[in-house]
Amino acid sequence: MQKYAVIVAGGTGMRMGAAIPKQFLMLHDKPVLYYTLKTFLDAFDDLRIVLVLPEDYTDLGREVIDAFFDYSRIQITSGGETRFHSVQAGLRHVGKDAIVFVHDAVRCLVTVDLIHRCFENALETGSAVPAVRVRDSVRLLNAEENTNEVMDRDRVVLVQTPQTFHSRILLPAFEIDYKERFTDEATVVEAFGLKVSLVPGDEHNIKITRPADLLFAEGMIRQGFLDKSLVKER
């Protein structure tokens, strides 16, 4: 079975307040993107990466690969107007009989264990969407009526990536027309008429969006979090 990881790095980092997209910010002396790429390459020896970047930053992406990796298992392509279109661009480079991981480049604390867990579940059911339960109380806002109501937090989960699918599911799903409600791959697959399977995520698998997230990731990497997870898996 072929394996592909479509790593989506289309953000510009406005909430981070940085001059460059957050995937290129330095984290423990290396770019954020480095850790994401390395973990996926470590997860499977035969996995290939399609790195989707903003068109203006493809050269910067090549600099990261030149510095730390090689192009034998990584290729770069330009993203689109939305996440949907960026993933769609990446999927053009994916084989027709494969397990496909779609992952946010700035979720740099993803572990080999989570990647393997998603792979095994996608092999069995066709899909694997990692999710974690919420700990805080949750309310549903109704702006029109200026009201809010308590929700049962045991029925609420936070969705992460890598969202993982068999290519026979994901490729045709991304041929449908774009809708604004397509916030991730799971919503696209569901709009295509298929159900998705949830798997346990990882609370450390955060998305770097604000300076505090970068500090958290820095602390985890300094403590050897990614190294420990790789050793545990092996």
Residue 175 Cα to chain centre, angstroms: 20
User: In angstroms, rounded to a whole number, what is the distance separating the alpha carbons of residues 152 and 77?
Assistant: 42
Burial of residue 180, with CB atoms counted within 10 A of its CB: 0-12 exposed, 13-18 middle, 19 or more buried: exposed
| Percentage of residues of the chain with pLDDT beyond 90 | 85
Alpha helices in 45-175 (DSSP H): 58-68, 83-91, 112-125, 167-173
With a cut of 70, say whether residue 209 has pLDDT above it.
yes
With a cut of 90, say whether residue 96 has pLDDT above it.
no
Burial 131-145 (b: 16+ CB within 10 A, else e): beeeeeeeeeeeeee
With a cut of 80, say whether residue 13 has pLDDT above it.
no
The pair phi, psi for residue 148, each rounded to 5°, is -150, 155
Mean pLDDT of the chain: 92
Instruction: Tell me what pLDDT residue 40 has.
Output: 98
Q: Positive or negative, the Cα torsion across 132, 186, 102, 40?
A: positive
With a cut of 50, say whether residue 234 has pLDDT above it.
no
Contact 53, 13 (CB under 8 A): no
